[in-house]
Structure 1
Amino acid sequence: MDTAVLFLTCVVILGVAALQTRLTRAERRAARAERKLDLVLGHLGLREEVPRADEIAALVRQGRKVQAIKVYREATGADLVEAKEAVDRMS
């Protein structure tokens, strides 16, 4: 029985490792595509419009950064780190 548990544990660990490798590869490919898109947008002189930007900027001016991050995430679908970085750039 101990051997079966050990075997199943090894199978699960290997499965998780394989999945992590696939996700990491997909994340790198997505990041590369985003960089290329940023270059194209920059070349064309286009900027990404942030929905509710005025509201977010007002919250930042009021010192309500946490609320600004929350609104940014709701408006853009960004994750927490991306939203915090964007709000910090507005400061």
Structure 2
Amino acid sequence: MDSWEAILLVITTIGSVAAAIGAWFQERRSAATQLAALQRKLDLVMDRLGIAAPEEPEVAEHLENGRTVEAVRAYRKQTGASLIEARQAVDRIAAGRRLPEQ
């Protein structure tokens, strides 16, 4: 095997490995996107049916004390949600806790 064949073999191997890694990352990204879409749909169904999401005690405590940022942090820690998802969930929890104005 001469040097050009060896170089082509190395380049082909590197390209194959890079393609496999790229496909793996794309699959993970796709699964995360699908999971987020399912979560949003489930939230909409629960809202439509009037079912409240279970409250986390630590989140509720922070909301009672007016500490929204800490409530979002606690929600993220307990659920693994993204910042945006956690903020939306905490806002929904806070809205559900408010008493209707009379």
- Length-normalised TM-score, structure 1: 0.61
Shift of 1:42: 1.1
- Length-normalised TM-score, structure 2: 0.57
Pick from 71, 74, 77 the counterpart of residue 71 of structure 1. Answer: 74
Q: Which structure has the larger Rg?
A: 2
Partner of 1:39: helix, strand, or coil? helix
Structure-2 change in CA distance of 1:81 and 1:5 (3 Å):
farther
Instruction: Please provide the CA RMSD for this pair.
Output: 3.0
Q: Deviation string for 1:5-39 (max 9, x for gaps)?
A: 21221011111222233223323322332222112
Quick check: 1:60 aligned with 2:67?
yes
Asked whether the 8 Å contact 1:72–1:78 carries over to 2, the reply is: yes
Mapping 1:17-56, distance limit 5 Å:
17-51=22-56, 52-56=58-62
What is the percentage of aligned positions where both structures have the same residue?
27
Asked whether the 8 Å contact 1:73–1:79 carries over to 2, the reply is: yes
Bigger relative contact order (CA 8 A; separation at least 6)? 1
Aligned length, in residue pairs:
85
The residue aligned with 2:8 is: 3
